[in-house]
């Protein structure tokens, strides 16, 4: 009995000691809050820094309570990230150095393709020491000669930070292909490469995890349904009048099922009477590759996606004005993104197409 009581006492002491150590470790962590436009694009560079334990996407800076993705701008908030870090491993000043290399600090109207006050850049300080460090960092950047326009990034007192919806967290990991095409189309990397060259922290755009051409055959089979695989990888054709989008009349865009690259818009879709989704022109001609197809004892023009290298269908010269073309596509090769989901899905640059 005595031995049992001793074991229980020792176990209790160990649990208490563990709780104390855990609490101390948590107490040593600090938080830094930065706004730099799209929060999806701000997470990656910070998450791989030594000493950073977590990065959360969210909303802050406004007065409205409990903002969400639909109303945060109306409540005065901006998209931001909260960086949780160990100050014994990385300093606040070092985080600021990384922050400046992710944004255009001279743009008062937003960041890159994302426009509006809710996409503006800002540093939210939590105490006077952070404020001094941030102001010094901004001053040094202005003197560096990197920019020929004033640095307009705001330095503001921190307010309540609201974590964004779960699907926004680590978006670049959960949806690597969609993220890649959003980021590439946003102009962020092109600008940062021009200003900073190789002297900046950024994810490798050639990483195999986000390159559909480097996906293995096994990965493609796991990602795609049997019909999608047959159409995109084996140049198959789905049944007419028995496919997902042949009669779809909803507004939105069609993207490659493998890579997520934008292909066609509902604004250019028409009823060709063939039983397959048909378009008069591509949404992004640069994402379309045309090849001569001599299969089945005839000559046709095959249509493939550039990045995904997916077989999409064929293009014919019997379409309506103004192009006279009929891009006859397979539904199984595409995914439809409704207009109300464009921003959420990473295709916000196409919202204005459906403004009227």
**Residues assigned a catalytic role:** 38, 328
Cα distance between residue 311 and residue 120, in whole Å? 40
Do β-strands 30-36 and 78-85 pair in parallel, antiparallel, or remain unpaired?
Answer: antiparallel
Long-range CB pairs of 243-250 (<8 Å, 24+ gap) are: 243/275, 243/276, 243/277, 243/330, 243/331, 243/332, 244/331, 244/332, 244/336, 245/277, 245/331, 245/334, 245/336, 246/275, 246/276, 246/277, 246/331, 247/271, 248/277, 248/336, 250/336, 250/338, 250/339
Backbone angles phi, psi at 304, to 5 degrees: -130, 160
Rounded to 5 degrees, what angle do the CA atoms 142, 145, 147 make?
75
Q: What would the two tokens of residue 87 be?
A: 């100050």
DSSP-based three-state secondary structure for 336? strand
The H helix count followed by the E strand count for the chain is: 10, 17
Distances (CA, A) of 246 to 92, 229, 266, 336: 54, 19, 11, 12
Nearest alpha-carbon partner for 264 in 288, 232, 236, 237: 288
Question: For residue 344, what are its two tokens?
Answer: 């959420």
Can you read off the two tokens belonging to residue 19? 């709780």
């Amino acid at each position: 009995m005595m031995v049992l009581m001793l074991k229980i006492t020792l176990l209790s002491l160990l649990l208490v000691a563990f709780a104390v150590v855990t609490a101390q470790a948590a107490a040593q962590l600090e938080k830094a809050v930065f706004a730099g436009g799209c929060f999806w694009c701000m997470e990656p560079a910070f998450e791989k820094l030594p000493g950073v334990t977590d990065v959360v996407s969210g909303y802050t800076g406004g007065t409205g309570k409990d903002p969400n993705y639909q109303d945060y701008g109306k409540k005065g908030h901006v998209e931001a990230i909260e960086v949780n870090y160990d100050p014994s491993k990385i300093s606040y000043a070092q985080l600021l150095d990384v922050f400046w290399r992710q944004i255009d600090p001279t743009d008062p109207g937003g960041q890159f393709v994302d426009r509006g006050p809710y996409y503006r850049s800002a540093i939210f300080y939590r105490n006077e020491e952070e404020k001094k460090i941030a102001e010094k960092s901004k001053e040094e950047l202005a003197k560096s000669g990197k920019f020929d326009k004033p640095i307009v990034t705001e330095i503001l007192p921190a307010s309540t930070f609201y974590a964004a919806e779960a699907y926004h967290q680590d978006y670049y990991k959960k949806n690597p292909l969609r993220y890649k095409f959003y980021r590439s189309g946003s102009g962020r990397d092109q600008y940062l490469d021009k200003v900073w060259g190789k002297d900046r922290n950024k994810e490798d755009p050639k990483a195999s995890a986000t390159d559909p051409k480097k996906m293995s055959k096994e990965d493609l089979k796991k990602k795609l349904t049997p019909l999608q695989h047959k159409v995109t990888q084996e140049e198959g054709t789905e049944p007419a009048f028995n496919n997902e989008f042949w009669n779809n009349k909803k507004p939105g865009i069609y993207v490659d099922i493998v890579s997520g690259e934008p292909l066609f818009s509902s604004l250019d879709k028409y009823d060709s009477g063939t039983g397959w989704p048909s378009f008069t022109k591509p949404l992004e001609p640069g994402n379309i590759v045309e090849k001569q197809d001599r299969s089945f004892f005839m000559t046709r023009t095959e249509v493939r996606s550039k990045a995904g290298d997916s077989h999409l269908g064929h293009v014919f010269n019997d379409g309506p004005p103004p192009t006279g073309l009929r891009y006859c596509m397979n539904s199984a090769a595409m995914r439809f993104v409704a207009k109300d989901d464009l921003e959420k899905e990473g295709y916000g640059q196409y919202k204005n197409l459906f403004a009227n």
